[in-house]
Every structure is written in C-alpha cells, then in structure tokens.
Chains A and B, each alone.
Chain A
Amino acid sequence: MNKDQIIEAIKQQIQDYQSTVKVAKVGTVIEAGDGIAKISGLGEVMASEMLDFGHNVFGVALNLEADFVGAMILGESKDIKEGDVVESTGRILEVPVGEAVIGRVVNPLGQPLDGKGEIKTKTFYPVEKIAPRVITRQQVTTPLQTGVIAIDAMIPIGRGQRELIIGDRQTGKTALVIDAIINQKGQDVTCIYVAIGQKDAKIARIVTELASRGAMEYTTVVVAGAADPAALLYLAPFAGCSMGEYFMDQGKDVLVVYDDLSKQAVAYRQISLLLKRPPGREAYPGDIFYLHSRLLERAARLNKDYGGGSLTALPIIETQAGDISAYIPTNVISITDGQIFLESDLFYQGIRPAINTGLSVSRVGSAAQIKAMKKVAGRLKLDMAQFRELAAFSQFGSDLDEATKNQINRGQRLTEILKQGQYQPLPVVDQVVILYAALNGYIDEVAIEKVKDFQQGLLDFCAAHGTKVMAELAKEKQLTESIEKDLKKLISDFKATFKN
C-alpha cells in the first residue's frame, strides 16, 4: 500500500466525518473464565450471535436467560475481566472460504497457522448452515475411491455419503483416512481434514506426509489442537464443513474428514456443563445428538439443477475398549450411512487395515461402485463370509473335505490380498485385476507368504505388458468379454513366470 492510498483513505474519512458515530448494543461481563462468560445486558442479542469482547477476542452467545447471557469465548479468556463492555455484532460466526484456503493449515476461525501469510478471499460462509433440502438432492451413485481394497471392494463409499470410521485407539483410523485423501490425487476431489483435539506433533506429521505426496495441493487442514479452548474444538467440524460446502456449491466434489467427533462431543459437554445446562446420559447435554446430526446432514449430493456438487463426510469416532454401544458411538452410527469397524485384535494379528469385514457396512452399497468392481466384489463378499464361518471349524480337526479345504484356502489368500501397507493406496483398476485373479483361482496354489509378492509381481507385469488392457479397463469401467479374455491371458502369462 502506498502513501497515496493512505492519504486517500484518510481523505475519505474526513469527508464521512459526520456519519461515523457508532451506535451499538452492549452488555457488561459479570463472570468470565474456563472459556465461557456471563454477560448482563445485551437485551436484544440472538442465539449464536457473534459477540465482540474487544482486543480482537470474539465470543458466541449460547444461553439466553432472563438476567444474563451465557457465551463461549473463542480465544484467550484471560484478558476478559468483570465489568468489560461486550458488543453484539448482529452477525453469525463466519469463516473464509474459496480457492484461497486450499493447501492451507487454518484454525476453526479461518486464521492461518502455517505461516504462509493472510488468506486472501472475499467470500465468507456462516459456520452454522442449514443442510441442503430434499428437493436439491440426488442419489449417491459416483464412487469415491479410497484406494484401500477392503473398502472399495466390500464397503464402497459414494460421493455424498457419510461413512463412519470407528475403532479403539491405535487401530489405524487416521491412517485409513489419510490414505483416502492421498488417493484423491487427480480425481477432482477437494479434501478437508479437520483435526480435533489432537497433538500438534501428530498434526505436523500428517501435514508433512500430505505435502510430501502432493496431497496438500487439493487439501485444507482445519486444526483445533489439544491445547486450544473447548469452544474452538466444538466449532472445528462446522468450520471445516462450511469450507467444503463452498466447493460443493460450485459443483465440485468434496471429501471432509472429521478426526475425531468423540473429542468434539467432549468439548461440547465441557462448554454445556460450564454454562449450567442440565447433564444427561454420560453427562452429555440433551442436544448432543442434534450436534452431530446437523453436522452430518450437511453431507449431500446435489442434483444437476443445483450444480451437481457433493460433500462426502468421513467422521471418526474413538471407542473405549471396543465398546460400540456407548452413547456417542451409537448416536453417530445411527446418523451415518454405514460404518467401518477397526479392531485391535485384527490389528495385532497383522491384518492391516484392521477392518472387521463382518460388522462393517455401507448402506449405499454397490450403487457406488464401477461395474467391473461390482462384478468381482460380489464374489469377494460371499467368499469372505463363508471363510469366516468355516475358519472356526478348521481349528478343531484336520479331517475336512476337499470343498471346505478349498474354501478356507481361498479365504486365507483373500485375507492376505486385503492387507495393505500405509500410504499405499491402489488405483481401482489395479484392485479389479488383483481381485479378479484371486477370485478366479489363480492364486490358490501360491503359498500364503508369497501372495503379496504375487500381487506386486502381477501389477508390475500388467504395467509392463498389459498397458492396453489396463487402459481399456480404466476407460470402459466394466469387464467386457474381450477385456476379460485379455485379462485372463495376461494373468496366465504372469503365473507361468512366477516362481512359487
């Protein structure tokens, strides 16, 4: 900004001199601390209106009572003291949205945390927004490829769906969603990762990992760390959702990950109890269900008349000792369109991702799969279910008939195929080829410990000798007779060269 502009601004001020008397509705702080404030006055304040405490500290009015207003403070509450004047702003809390937030790390108020300077945008979205109405919506039909075979094949997630990821601590919940974000590269999906109440070190590690894999080019990270006030933890998912909604309204596809909502529920419980709202089950306030349902309802697939954008939500819930019947897990399970269960037992057995394929479901189902995947995955689900049933038997006797043995054999190899390392998402075409080979008996003779080698070898072989088939499969997205014939030949050719 140059000298002339400053002079121009001052000149403007001089001309407007008469009109700059400010009339505001104010109140007085009677009590402040623990991230909340009690304010007397503020007669005409609205619920969830933004309040200005001065010194650049803002708050949100939550409780409107006969004699005072209860508000949560966004930011440092130690500078606020009794008798301070609080101004009502007449606005609802807003966050900056738009292209400018992509690739950035921001806090729930949209202020940058990555030291890359100010976020230059003129568009703002309110944090609390009513979810898209029925008329504006459309069925979920387009797949959102996570790059994880077990999910894409058996628990497919569609664009606009809400799929819960639930499991104990240290079962790979975050790893799963980070893989999903990395896999969105080149798929025209904008990603928003909302980190709630996590250690700053973990967030830094995730951001570095995303950046090193080029995923930050289409990702925004919204951070409310463990050291931030509860008010920011509570707001973070809503802020992240608003940032995503902007892109949805532009007709784009968005993936929003809330990691995790149990910590948000705890933060909201803290605020509610401090505001003296009556506690309910597990001391959560009565509107804890509404808190999560209104957030997750904002995930949607809009129809063509409304731009055709979508917002997919992947909320994460952490359970205590596998107890999925606790209050918050049951709530969120009932809200979402399916869940992915991660179990520590499976994790320690070496099955990673530790997905319990029996308990995990996707209520959108195969509508969100490409045709080729639909064809192979139908068999996969059946084979795995039969394997699970027979696996219990196999522990007792060795006297099994041939068919059972084969079934168990197949199951063990499929389990092996479904294992996948971290940061190794697979393109859907590769997944189809592997599953096709596995389900058509090509790996039944391969030793279990060699299955992964076979898989990698096959993919390398396809990349070298089968570029035409792979390209065709990627284009057609279904197993036509000619593709299937070529694929069979390709796999047989590779198998001939593979040393068991």
Chain B
Amino acid sequence: MAIQTKKYAAALYQAVKESQGKKLTEALANFVKLLIQNRLLGQADTILADFKKYYNEQEQITAVEVSTARPLSPAIVKDLTKKFSSALGQTVELNCQVNPELCGGAVFRIGDYLIDGSVAHRLNTLRQKIYSNQS
C-alpha cells in the first residue's frame, strides 16, 4: 500500500504542475473523484504527506525543523534560512517550534539528521558524566 500512495502523490504532482489557474481546481477536483472511485479517500492524509515529500524533492526544497525554548525573532529566522540555504545549496523551508523543555539553545532536524545544541542535551551529558564517575 505504501508504494501505491507514493504513486498517487507523484501523479498528483505532475497533474498540478501541468495545469495552472482554473484548470488547477479542476485537476484537484478530478483527483478527489479518482480517490473516491478507487476507495482511497481514507488514505488521503498519507497521500498528502507523500505529496509534500515528493514536492520538496522535485523542487529542491529542504524542510528544516527548528526547536527552541523561546520563539525566534523574524530577523533570526531570516538569518537562519539564509545560512541553511547557502550551506545546503537548496531552498530551505524553516519550521519553527517552541519547546520550553530545551531550556536554551536550539535543535535542528534536517531529514534524517539531528543537530542538538540545546542546553537540555548538555545537562543530560553532564548528568551521565557524573553518574559514570560515580561508578
């Protein structure tokens, strides 16, 4: 089933890319009708998630998730986006999340990579170090 939803997502991407303006609404409506016909409306969420992934892949967009203890100012967001874009050589889509548990610093997640520069992580390391010294 996983392969099937991926195929639908790819097809949707191509249909959307080819059609513009009024045709786009029509294409989307047809896609929904197709899903109903094939009894796949229940899978719509999965297809949507796959579409998002496929879209990013095709358009060379990298999603970067940023978690911080406090909300970031727009200036920092802009700066980060610029830095990531130049580092990765791709368009970067920055998703900001606020997680007070981090205490400070930031955690970035780019695809399968996690860069943890939070205070919470450092505190954890410190705790482990103290425990291991104890034994």
Contacts and interface: CB of A to CB of B under 8 A. Distances in A.
A25 B125 contact: no
B2 A67 contact: yes
Contacts of B116: 21-24
A43 interface: yes
A474 interface: no
26 contacts: A1-B134, A6-B130, A9-B130, A12-B129, A13-B126, A13-B129, A20-B117, A21-B115, A21-B117, A22-B114, A22-B115, A22-B116, A22-B117, A22-B121, A23-B114, A23-B116, A24-B116, A25-B112, A25-B113, A26-B112, A26-B114, A27-B112, A41-B111, A41-B112, A42-B112, A118-B135
Contacts of B82: none
Given A26-B114, A87-B114, 4 more contacts: A1-B134, A5-B133, A24-B116, A118-B135
A1 B131 CA distance: 9
Contacts of A22: 114-117, 121
A400 interface: no
Interface of B: 2, 109, 111-117, 121-122, 125-126, 129-130, 133-135
A12 B132 CA distance: 14
A1 B112 contact: no
Interface in A1-53: 1, 5-6, 9-10, 12-13, 17, 20-27, 41-44
B2 A13 contact: no
Nearest to A12: B129
Prevailing SS type, chain A contact patch = mixed
A12 B130 CA distance: 11
Contacts of A67: 2
A483 interface: no
A479 interface: no
A27 B2 CA distance: 17
Interface string A361-395: 00000000000000000000000000000000000
Interface in A48-106: 67, 85, 87
Contact of B109 (A26, A42, A43): A26
A24 B130 contact: no
B114 A13 contact: no
A42 to B, nearest CB: 6
A120 interface: yes
B115 A1 contact: no
Contact of A120 (B113, B114, B121, B135): B135
A24 B112 CA distance: 8
Interface of A: 1, 5-6, 9-10, 12-13, 17, 20-27, 41-44, 67, 85, 87, 118, 120
Contacts of B2: 67
A28 to B, nearest CB: 9
* Residue among B2, B114, B122 with max Cβ neighbours from chain A (10 Å): B114
Contacts of A9: 126, 129-130, 133
Nearest to A44: B112
A25 B130 contact: no
B129 A26 contact: no
Given A1-B130, A6-B130, A120-B135, A13 B122 contact: yes
A67 B130 CA distance: 39
Given A1-B130, A6-B130, A20 B125 contact: yes
A21 B114 CA distance: 10
Contacts of B111: 41, 43
B30 to A, nearest CB: 27
A21 B121 CA distance: 8
Contacts of A120: 135
Contacts of A1: 130, 133-134
A9 B133 CA distance: 9
A358 B68 CA distance: 73
Given A1-B134, A6-B130, A20 B109 contact: no
Contacts of A12: 129
Contact of A24 (B114, B133, B134, B135): B114
Contacts of A118: 135
Given A13-B125, A118-B135, A26 B130 contact: no
Nearest to A122: B135
A299 B100 CA distance: 53
Contacts of B115: 21-23
Nearest to B121: A22
A27 B113 CA distance: 8
A13 B115 CA distance: 19
A41 B63 CA distance: 14
Contact of B114 (A10, A20, A25, A44): A25
A174 B35 CA distance: 61
Contacts of A17: 122
A17 B125 CA distance: 11
A10 B112 contact: no
Nearest to A42: B112
Which 9 pairs show the lowest CB-CB distances between chains A and B?
A22-B116, A21-B117, A26-B114, A43-B112, A1-B134, A24-B114, A41-B112, A13-B126, A9-B129
B9 to A, nearest CB: 13
